[in-house]
Chains A and B, each alone.
Chain A
């Protein structure tokens, strides 16, 4: 299972953090710092796999963002790369040519998409189409409810 997923920029700004096991705030900060240090120090065209404590770290850089996942020892690293790639594709489909700013300004949407794709550290839906459809429907539900409650449209 995946223990955590982190998205951060080249400058070390965290854009998304998802933890699949209970971790104290202090420990989270430490892991984030360590991950950034390890990953940002890697030269380009390096191997995408690292060792950190008892975990395998799989990371990949997409434009200005690093996607970094902590996997357990028996997990398939190559598949981990595919998981990261799938998530990027889902973001891309949703936002249309996604860039870092989209994730910054719509971070809650990024989380919602993630929750449709991964759950409890495992892939919950293997079909790209199914995830997109779910997101659309959920968003529609949200808007409908809002209109119904006649709140100022946001």
Chain B
């Protein structure tokens, strides 16, 4: 017949297979799909069985479901069955029911509340194995409410006569205390009395409970300090006793209990002289007598060492502990070496010299095959670097870096940088080290590395030639490491003239032509490996070279104009602006592209990416003693930097801002960089009124070719001074692009306000005024050098005048 009754169909298709049959069926499924089919059928059968009345096979069904659950299939429909089974009077059903509860339920499920009552009942069951099930389940998944509810019952069981129940009740109490801290108080008396028990299971549970109570409550800790002598006694018994077959593990008597007691002693002895003294002898005994040929002995020794190092132990014992760690370091077993290094890491701060003695072995572990051991060795090696061992340690660390696993590279690189920064024996060594790291692990270094390195290089002025040669050579070999390429480009841009000069003291001479250099930079520009930031660096470097080379300026001009139509907006903008520099502002090009000043540490460079007006404002006063403003070459703001170059060495002239009609893009950038107002940059100085002061005396300071420049000044404060320069044109032709640049001695701060205009019409019909605000905190003799540039009748003129005396000030320029 084709049509069966549905129930019969069920029975026919899926009889109640024993658990093992089902497992066999599932395992023999050849594909995932087949397995799913078998499981679906079984689950359907199980569900049907659950719905039926008690047929004696319930525990098997639930067990089947649990197996299916372990394979990863959903089994939540079994939750209620668990609850029912737990309530059953049959032990077999309870057993599987509780197992199901621990596997399928957790405290977040509502169904877990339903078993609270069963647990409560079973805790007072006459049969200890039923009690045990309840205790185990409570300790595994008891929620806070359940714990609160059942805590008194657990406390009662802690005092019960049966050690089987006591030991389980103790760990149940531990769970309760972890869940509901306040309940700890409840268990203190029982815990104390359990220490007198002989049964190891109970003792172990008691020690775990006491550890938990002491860690959570310092007052409880105080009270339990009195148990130190008892604990010492128990430990002594374990260590010195003869062979005990029940607890022996490779010659150690109950290592689990020993380790636990050592941990409790550690907690009790911490920061307490008395307790530490009481345990001193015992610890020495354990340290010397424990057999360290097997892991289990080493486990005990390890715990002993940790305890000795954490309490107030006497120095002899401490030395003994560190020596044990030293022995561990030489052990063949990797695990032992690993934990030795972990422990040494903990004490490298406090017992630095002791750990230093083992430096050689630790460094050897850098070469271990195992990744975990390598990691530990790296951490420890970095912690052991000092001024005296920096050279040898760095050799090892660099060797490590070239072969270390990828996940450790970044950490190793930054560790090396830190060490190099703190202990570098010479600048050249420092630069070499950083270059080495960039060549081996350039992809894994942090972003600040590039500006950091640039800052370092600018500081080492005698090494500029050496550095640029080295970097150039590195660039020729490999342009894939972005940080290295960025630094190389920057240096070539800055120090290209040194590179071309050829001879260099520290490295072999190499003939580099202008074309070679431009080739290298163009390769970087065109390479698909270069990131946008890197290409920015390369373009700017190319531009800078226009003032440092003589023959191939046209080539640079063409490169720059090509990139004016580059798809990358950043590059395009730069190229357009550099183009403008070539075309309209050629007279400023030399000044703008001049050598960068030495960048100081903690300059705004680190925040230049997100710079705001405030950042620059803050830096001003500090920098001022060199009369410089420092804006390290962050690519994103590089264009703005060129115009923001307010000051430099006392040779650099300051271009006045907001000249005539500049390219709009430039203005916008500077505005955004300076937080909206370039004029607000020097917050230190009081803003001088824009209108020139009429009462101040005016003196002519320059007169040539019909162009006159007069100067008047007014004192603003004890050290502050406003100088007004007025220019006029008495010739027959108009003058355009009239700009003034000023320079002052190093200690004097200078700020040029926007001029009133840049054109001087003929026959003096209009004048141009330029205000300059000065601050002379050191009250040096005030001098000012002014460069005048303008265009008249199609030709550019430039002249310089030095002003040594200022009207309104006394001879010393005060």
A interface with B by C-beta (< 8 Å): 14-17, 20, 22-24, 29, 43, 45-51, 74, 76-79, 81-83, 86, 104-105, 107-108, 111-112, 115, 119-120, 122-130, 134, 137-138, 141-142, 145-146, 149, 151-152, 154
The verdict on A145 contacting B70 (CB below 8 Å), with A105-B23, A126-B254 known, is no
B378 within 8 A of A: no
B402 within 8 A of A: no
Of all A-B residue pairs in the complex, the 4 with the closest CB atoms, nearest first, are: A78-B299, A120-B139, A151-B56, A47-B372
Most buried by B among A23, A49, A51: A49
B259 within 8 A of A: yes
The verdict on A124 contacting B168 (CB below 8 Å), with A108-B63, A145-B91 known, is yes
Complex: A105 Cα to B129 Cα, angstroms: 24
Contact A141 B171, beta carbon cutoff 8 Å: no
Closest CB in chain B relative to A43 CB, distance in Å: 8
Complex: A76 Cα to B13 Cα, angstroms: 53
Closest CB in chain B relative to A152 CB, distance in Å: 7
Contact A120 B172, beta carbon cutoff 8 Å: yes
Nearest B residue to A120 via CB reads: B139
Give chain B residues whose Cβ lies under 8 Å from the Cβ of A126: 200-201, 204, 247, 254, 256-257
Complex: A50 Cα to B339 Cα, angstroms: 11
Contact A107 B70, beta carbon cutoff 8 Å: yes
The verdict on A82 contacting B299 (CB below 8 Å), with A14-B70, A145-B90, A154-B60 known, is yes
Contact B302 A76, beta carbon cutoff 8 Å: yes
Closest CB in chain B relative to A65 CB, distance in Å: 14
B18 within 8 A of A: yes
Give chain A residues whose Cβ lies under 8 Å from the Cβ of B259: 76, 79
Complex: A79 Cα to B294 Cα, angstroms: 12
Contact B90 A49, beta carbon cutoff 8 Å: no
Nearest B residue to A111 via CB reads: B99
Q: Which residues from 274 to 312 on chain B have a C-beta closer than 8 Å to any C-beta of chain A?
A: 295-296, 298-299, 302-303, 306
Closest CB in chain A relative to B793 CB, distance in Å: 77
Give chain A residues whose Cβ lies under 8 Å from the Cβ of B95: 112, 138, 142
Closest CB in chain A relative to B257 CB, distance in Å: 6
Contact B70 A79, beta carbon cutoff 8 Å: no
Give chain B residues whose Cβ lies under 8 Å from the Cβ of A47: 334-335, 337-338, 370-373
Give a binary string over B332-352; 1 marks a CB under 8 Å from any A CB, 0 the rest: 001111110000000000000
Give chain B residues whose Cβ lies under 8 Å from the Cβ of A111: 99
Give a binary string over B89-100; 1 marks a CB under 8 Å from any A CB, 0 the rest: 011100110010
Contact B295 A78, beta carbon cutoff 8 Å: yes
B794 within 8 A of A: no
Closest CB in chain A relative to B794 CB, distance in Å: 74
The verdict on A79 contacting B370 (CB below 8 Å), with A126-B256, A127-B200, A141-B91 known, is no
Known contacts A49-B339, A83-B256; 4 further A-B pairs (Cβ under 8 A): A48-B335, A81-B299, A82-B255, A82-B296
Contact A142 B92, beta carbon cutoff 8 Å: yes
Closest CB in chain B relative to A33 CB, distance in Å: 11
Contact B335 A119, beta carbon cutoff 8 Å: no
Complex: A61 Cα to B95 Cα, angstroms: 29
B205 within 8 A of A: yes
Nearest B residue to A151 via CB reads: B56
- Selected from B164, B249, B263, B371, the residue in CB contact (under 8 A) with A82 is B249
Complex: A48 Cα to B338 Cα, angstroms: 9
Contact B106 A23, beta carbon cutoff 8 Å: yes
Give a binary string over B253-281; 1 marks a CB under 8 Å from any A CB, 0 the rest: 01111010001000000000000000000
Give chain B residues whose Cβ lies under 8 Å from the Cβ of A48: 334-335
Nearest A residue to B16 via CB reads: A152
Give chain B residues whose Cβ lies under 8 Å from the Cβ of A141: 91, 127, 129
B430 within 8 A of A: no
Give chain B residues whose Cβ lies under 8 Å from the Cβ of A123: 204, 256
Give chain B residues whose Cβ lies under 8 Å from the Cβ of A138: 91, 95, 129
Nearest B residue to A125 via CB reads: B201
B474 within 8 A of A: no
Nearest B residue to A150 via CB reads: B56
Complex: A30 Cα to B803 Cα, angstroms: 76
Give chain B residues whose Cβ lies under 8 Å from the Cβ of A154: 18, 60
Interface size class of B (residues with CB under 8 A): 35 or more
- Supply 11 A–B pairs (Cβ within 8 Å), ascending by A: A22-B106, A49-B338, A49-B372, A78-B298, A119-B135, A126-B204, A126-B247, A126-B256, A128-B246, A137-B129, A154-B60
Contact B335 A77, beta carbon cutoff 8 Å: yes
Contact B63 A81, beta carbon cutoff 8 Å: no
Complex: A152 Cα to B56 Cα, angstroms: 8
B167 within 8 A of A: yes
Most buried by A among B23, B257, B299: B299
Complex: A138 Cα to B96 Cα, angstroms: 12
Nearest B residue to A144 via CB reads: B91
Contact A142 B91, beta carbon cutoff 8 Å: yes
Complex: A15 Cα to B66 Cα, angstroms: 12
Closest CB in chain B relative to A117 CB, distance in Å: 10
Most buried by B among A23, A124, A125, A137: A124
Closest CB in chain B relative to A16 CB, distance in Å: 8
Q: Which residues from 137 to 186 on chain B have a C-beta closer than 8 Å to any C-beta of chain A?
A: 139-141, 164, 167-168, 171-172, 174-175
B72 within 8 A of A: yes
Complex: A29 Cα to B72 Cα, angstroms: 8
B107 within 8 A of A: yes
Contact A145 B295, beta carbon cutoff 8 Å: no
Give chain B residues whose Cβ lies under 8 Å from the Cβ of A23: 106
Complex: A74 Cα to B302 Cα, angstroms: 12
Give chain A residues whose Cβ lies under 8 Å from the Cβ of B92: 142, 145-146
Contact A49 B208, beta carbon cutoff 8 Å: no
B224 within 8 A of A: no
B629 within 8 A of A: no
Complex: A20 Cα to B249 Cα, angstroms: 26
B67 within 8 A of A: yes
Most buried by A among B18, B63, B164: B164
Give chain B residues whose Cβ lies under 8 Å from the Cβ of A51: 372, 375
- Selected from B60, B171, B200, the residue in CB contact (under 8 A) with A122 is B171
Closest CB in chain B relative to A74 CB, distance in Å: 8
Closest CB in chain A relative to B101 CB, distance in Å: 12
Contact A149 B172, beta carbon cutoff 8 Å: no
Nearest A residue to B100 via CB reads: A108
Contact A46 B299, beta carbon cutoff 8 Å: no
- Selected from B23, B249, B371, the residue in CB contact (under 8 A) with A104 is B23
Contact B302 A78, beta carbon cutoff 8 Å: yes
Closest CB in chain B relative to A93 CB, distance in Å: 14
Complex: A1 Cα to B56 Cα, angstroms: 38
Complex: A108 Cα to B63 Cα, angstroms: 7
Give chain B residues whose Cβ lies under 8 Å from the Cβ of A24: 108
The verdict on A120 contacting B334 (CB below 8 Å), with A142-B91, A142-B92 known, is no
Contact B136 A119, beta carbon cutoff 8 Å: yes
Closest CB in chain B relative to A4 CB, distance in Å: 12
Closest CB in chain A relative to B310 CB, distance in Å: 11
Contact A78 B204, beta carbon cutoff 8 Å: no
Closest CB in chain A relative to B63 CB, distance in Å: 5
The verdict on A49 contacting B335 (CB below 8 Å), with A108-B96, A123-B256 known, is yes
Closest CB in chain B relative to A88 CB, distance in Å: 13
Closest CB in chain A relative to B415 CB, distance in Å: 17
Nearest A residue to B71 via CB reads: A14
Closest CB in chain A relative to B217 CB, distance in Å: 17
Q: Which residues from 360 to 396 on chain B have a C-beta closer than 8 Å to any C-beta of chain A?
A: 369-373, 375
B20 within 8 A of A: yes
Contact A79 B129, beta carbon cutoff 8 Å: no
Contact B334 A46, beta carbon cutoff 8 Å: yes
- Selected from A20, A115, A130, the residue in CB contact (under 8 A) with B246 is A130
Contact A46 B246, beta carbon cutoff 8 Å: no
Contact A119 B172, beta carbon cutoff 8 Å: yes
The verdict on A115 contacting B338 (CB below 8 Å), with A123-B256, A127-B246 known, is no
Closest CB in chain A relative to B199 CB, distance in Å: 9
- Selected from A43, A120, A152, the residue in CB contact (under 8 A) with B171 is A120
Contact B372 A50, beta carbon cutoff 8 Å: yes
